[in-house]
Amino acid sequence: MSDDELSDLWENATIVFDTNVLLDVFRYPSKTRNDFLHLLEELAERLWMPNQVGTEFHRERLEVPKRQKEALKGFSKAIEGAKANLKSFLSDFKPLMREESEEISDFINEELNALRESVKQKFHDYKVDVLSDDAHDQTFQKISELYDGRVGESYTSKKLLKIHSVGEQRYRLNIPPRLQRCWQR
């Protein structure tokens, strides 16, 4: 492809994102999210969304904040688990290092408490900036506006059955592309 053809492609191509790209916008901090949405505004005339992407987007978008909140809880539990493991580890050394072990234990506790508080604050900021209902609603509204009138038609039931049949055959015969996630639902 020549430089002119490539340049023409970048300036005139229809832009189609997969569902995960659009769902990731809900995970971005506000600055990144706003920058991305501004870029989409500049490209609005060239945006297109296949109906399936729209269906998946609407089905999954409310799960994004739930999953993010679960991940944050898991991380907090991991910090508490690390603290408990270190305490247990240090208790094994107490008989060997009587004076030093208390000093080391106090130091580690202070540092882990400071880490826990710092992470807690970062998580709070993230929840307010990214996971709040307001941020989610604004992002959803903006994406909806950008794609208004730019979504493909849905398939008929007959066409969907045919697509699924072909997909199952391709999957059985190991013919790419095979999207394993489709078969895991």
* Tokens (6 digits) for 173: 């015969």
**Kind plus residue range of the DSSP H or E element containing 48:** strand 47-48
Q: Where are the domains of the chain?
A: 3-154, 156-185
pTM, full prediction: 0.72
CA geometry: angle 102, 104, 105, nearest 5 deg: 60
Closest CA to 73 of 29, 31, 131, 135: 131
pLDDT string in tens for the chain (185-residue length)? 889 988 988 889 999 999 999 999 999 999 999 999 999 999 999 999 999 999 999 999 999 999 988 888 888 888 888 888 888 887 777 776 677 777 887 888 898 889 889 988 988 888 888 888 999 999 999 999 999 999 999 989 998 899 889 989 988 888 887 555 555 54
Measured distance CA(65)–CA(129) in Å, rounded: 12
Residues 27, 64: contact at Cβ < 8 Å?
yes
